[in-house]
Amino acid sequence: MQLIQLSDQCFVAGQPSPEDMASLAEQGFQHIVCNRPDGESPGQPTMEVMAAAAAAAGMTFMRYPVDATNFPGDDLTALGQLFDGGDRVLAYCRTGTRCANLWVMTRGDDAVMDAFRLAQGIGFDLSLVQLHRR
């Protein structure tokens, strides 16, 4: 699993396995955020399985599943507070792209353009941000 750093605290990735949770905790992650709806792909671990694995490793697990139909979700404020709370956070989805879009969306007006340029420079498709920030 490739971890992509967006800020001092926030990293994004594609789908981890439940077995990755112990290693992520050893790397200093305190929070895992799932931005992937259950059943999106065959064989994908459910949020319940991932939450149990995160808890067993001593991390909190936040369910924040989004797709193109419900992006950016119901509580960007709480998500942004978690991203900026000082603890190390890993957000995951299928590829990390939705997570990067959400991270950009949680940036304040003064920081959104810098965040957009950073994520775009890494190679993320930010079309969801472009659709919803108009």
Extract the tokens encoding 102: 């959400």
Rounded-to-integer distance, Cα 77 and Cα 56, Å: 27
> Containing domain of residue 124, as a range?
4-132
| pTM greater than 0.85 (yes/no) | yes
Q: Is 50 exposed, middle or buried (0-12, 13-18, 19+ CB in 10 A)?
A: buried
Walk along the chain (134 residues) and give the pLDDT tens digit of each residue: 899 999 999 999 999 999 999 999 999 999 999 999 999 999 999 999 999 999 999 999 999 999 989 999 999 999 999 999 999 999 999 999 999 999 999 998 889 999 999 999 999 999 999 888 75
CATH code of the domain containing 110 = 3.90.190.10
Residues 6+ away with beta carbon under 8 Å from 97:
124, 125
User: How many domains does the chain divide into?
Assistant: 1
Q: DSSP secondary-structure letter at 28?
A: T
